[in-house]
Structure 1
Amino acid sequence: MLKLTRWMMPLLLTGFVTLNIYGQDTIPVLKPQQEIKSPQVRTADTTIKKIMEELEKVQENDRQNSQIIGELTRGREIDNSTKYELIKNNLIYASDTYYLLNKKIIDLKSRTTTSNLDVFITSLNNPESKELGFSLSDRVVELVEKIILKGKGDKNERNTKLVESTKSIINSPIFKSFTSLTPPLAIASSVMNFLHSVAQSNKAINHKLLQEFEKELNKYVIYYTALNDANQKFEFGLNFNKDQLSLLQDNMYDHLAFTANVLKMPLPARGNKTIAESLNEYFIDFRKEKVVDFFAKMEAKYTKGKKIDYEKLLQENANLKEANNQLEDLVLQTKRFENLYNEYFSLLDAYYNKVNHSLRLAQDNGLAEKGIVESKQAEFRNLKNEAVQEIQASLNMRELVLNVEKIKYRYRIF
């Protein structure tokens, strides 16, 4: 390919040179007055044409590069301001999220059921209660008189003492101090042990009578055992749920500690206070308004004339980027709380089903009439629905969800 020296290039571009290359026809000389639209190559040799095309490409590339450099220069400032605005808005919304998440964790941890539902269950637990049309205490005495004493409970002093001793066991303050559904089951077990002991010295109480008595008593034991199982599993589930909420609160506390330090509002030492006490006191001051004020002061500090130096602001406060990037973990914590919130209602549903099952056992074993059982099941269903509505209204999960949606945590900044 033909190489052009530096002194030849201007002449070539202005059209004031005629070349004879390798014996080919010469290129006509252009007059200065002629309008130059584009170089016209009339030689069969394409070398010069290619050179001209390459020159045009270089010029176009230079133009495009200059334009790109100018856009990058202008866009750098726009990009920094966009980063800053994203960080600022995310951390402002996060301040509300911390407050709401802590408040709702404490609320859900304090829940068991509701007072009305608790009263209903307690009435079923009580051996003296006649909610299902019978009292366990009365029925046990009746079974002793009917089966063990064959309807002769008042015929002699020995029988009378046996009945009185049975009543004394049932009314023992020891059983009254028990929790959950243990009292009915403890009463049944204690009465059976007592009768087996008496049978050792009273030949009138034979093995056959004891078997018949135990068979009838077991109908009640089956009902109370099922009710006790429902109560215990619900209590176990609630305790596990509370443990998970406590762990979540600890994680939120650690996450908040970093963010608060970045915002120049560090958490005070907890001392002997519980995490709930510490956070409740801290959130008196750490609120959305304080975070908004923090960013306003920062913008004022980096304002020159009427323009904020976003690049310098971000360089000298690099921890803002890290605080923003860690918000993904905060959002995941709110999702974990939402799962625990839903698990609570799953526990309540399971509890409802188990209690209903125990009521059906009472009906199937002839302890309570069908109409009474169905009435109690309907009452329990209504109380359970009221409890769900009350808890949902109190916790207001939508409030937390809508606030979290404002945090654009997916946009990580580097």
Structure 2
Amino acid sequence: MNLLYMKNASRCVSLFSLMISGIVTARAQEKPKTDTVPVTVTQPQEMRTNIRTADTTIRRLIEDLQKVADSDRQNSSAIQGLLQGKEIDNLTKYELIKNNLINASETYYLLNKKIIDLKSRTTTNNLDVFITALNNPESKELGFSFSDRIVELVEKIVLKGNADKGEKNGKIVESTKSIINSPIFQSFTSLTPPLAIANSVMNFLHSVSVNNKQINQKTLQEFEKELNKYVVYYTALNDANQKFEFGLNFNKDQLTLLQDNLYDHLMFTASALKFQLPQRGNKPIGETMNDFFLDFKKEKVVDFFGQLETKYSKGKRIDYELLLRENPNLKEVNNQLEDLILQTKRFENLYNEYFTLLDSYYSKVNSSLKIAQDNGLAAQNIIDSKQAEFRNLKNEAVADIQASINIKELYNNTDKVKYRYRIF
């Protein structure tokens, strides 16, 4: 700016010297006044032309000087504008980074909280009770006890109604009951007990038939045919339960992986904000994250930026250019916030997947109940009642999960993070 000013000043001096020279030349050509009687003298054409030329030169010099002065003012304004624009640009960058990281600190907390909540939702207590009751061989939820039905089929088909006649027949009935009441089957927690019992009873009867001529192949086939009506129902119920359990476990594994990624991302951000990083050790990721969020809070992130502004204050002005230059990690953290938003999108997908699993489970359980009705195991009014009960339990589970996780809270928070704006 000083160099430009010196050049313009030099130009002004040169023009001014030229103007003075022109004035002197014009004055030298004028006739001195005398007290004699005026005599009319006709000036030569060349002299009149020189005078007009001098006047024009002076006028042009004055105009040029004015242009130089105007140019100086314009250049000075432009330079000041550039300097001010640079300052505004640094301020804008800083404010964007500051607001993004303050809002992101809450995003980290909310996402971790909701991951833990969804991971714990393997199912609901009411649904567990409902399915366990259907699975229990002793239960009469559908109007029959599977254990009792097996004994009835053995007495009716295998023993031809002669269960109380003969010691052998009595032992067959007692052995069948012993298999059904085996602690091994009663300790099962999945839907396999009815299927395991049916398989064990069939194996037992086949072994008995070797030495008992009254139990022939035709009798066993007839017994197996009736037993399979129950087996098909329990197999469908078991398939529904296993697929739901597998889906939940896969969903849980994906949530754990997401939480690990969130931890890594949070550690980078926390480091840039000068937080003391947690020592994970052998603790579960959820416990480590919960402990860290006792210190990593939105209020403390606000305090961090307040201290930063105080450090780089010069009088009433903050040197944003120096602040950004000496804290380059802030730019990098800001530019990686898109990864955090993508993690929230991944959580949203897993959250929706949970309801997809629940819908599929509901459909499969209803199908198994329909099999029980079609096979004549239970009356239609009982099946309709159970399907309605299961539908209500499923809707309650959905409402409970939606209220607990409150996905909209996460949406509203991530909308505040302007992750698409990168700072360089």
* Conserved? CA contact 2:191–2:237, under 8 Å: yes
Distance between the aligned counterparts of 1:61 and 1:213, measured in 2?
110
Q: Does the CA contact (< 8 Å) of 1:83 and 1:413 recur in 2? A: yes
Q: Which structure 2 residues correspond to residues 319-338 of structure 1 after superposition, within 5 A?
A: 319-338=329-348
- Of 341, 366, 373, the residue aligned with 2:376 is 366
Q: What does residue 295 of structure 1 align with?
A: 305
- Distance in 2, Cα, partners of 1:345 & 1:57: 76
- State the alpha-carbon separation in 1 of the partners of residues 417 and 256 from structure 2: 24
In the alignment, which residue of structure 2 is the partner of 1:3?
none
In 2: Cα distance, 1:15 partner to 1:351 partner: 104
Q: Could you give the per-residue CA deviations for residues 228-252 of structure 1, whole angstroms, max 9, x where no partner exists?
A: 0000000000000000000000000
1:30-62 CA deviation, whole Å, 9 max, x = no partner?
7369987x99xxxxxxxxxxxx9xxx9999988
Distance 2:104 2:403 in 1: 23
One of 315, 319, 322 as aligned partner of 1:305: 315
- Mapping for residues 8-407 of structure 1, pairs under 5 Å: 29=53, 31=55, 67-407=77-417
Percent identity for Structure 1 against Structure 2: 73
1:257–1:266 Cα contact (<8 Å) kept: no
RMSD: 2.9
Deviation at 1:70, TM superposition (A): 2.7
For residue 48 of structure 1, what is the aligned residue in structure 2?
Answer: none
Q: Which amino acid aligns with 1:31?
A: D
Q: What runs of 5+ residues in structure 2 fail to find an aligned partner?
A: 1-12, 26-48
Alpha-carbon contact 1:149-1:159 (below 8 Å) kept = yes
2:291 aligned partner, one-letter code: E
The one-letter code matched in structure 1 to 2:105 is: S
One-letter amino acid of the structure 1 residue matched with residue 120 of structure 2: S
TM-score (norm 1): 0.87
Counterparts of 1:234 and 1:401 in 2: how far apart (Å)? Answer: 28
CA offset at residue 7 of structure 1? 8.1
Q: Secondary structure at the match of 1:269?
A: coil
Residue of structure 1 equivalent to 2:30: none
Q: Between Structure 1 and Structure 2, whose CA radius of gyration is higher?
A: 2
| Preserved contact between residue 312 and residue 319 of structure 2 (Cα < 8 Å) | yes
C-alpha contact 2:22 2:58 (8 A) present in aligned 1: no
Counterpart contact for 1:15–1:29, Cα < 8 Å: no
Partners of 1:397 and 1:15 in 2: CA distance: 85
Task: Verify the 8 A CA contact 1:80 1:311 in the aligned structure 2.
Answer: yes
C-alpha distance 207-311 of structure 1, shift in aligned 2 (>3 A)? same
Distance 2:57 2:311 in 1: 61
Distance 1:28 1:188 in 2: 129
Contact 2:22 2:57 in 1 (8 A): no
Q: Which runs of 4+ in 1 moved over 2 A?
A: 6-12, 14-17, 25-36, 56-70
Aligned to 1:49: none
Number of equivalences? 388
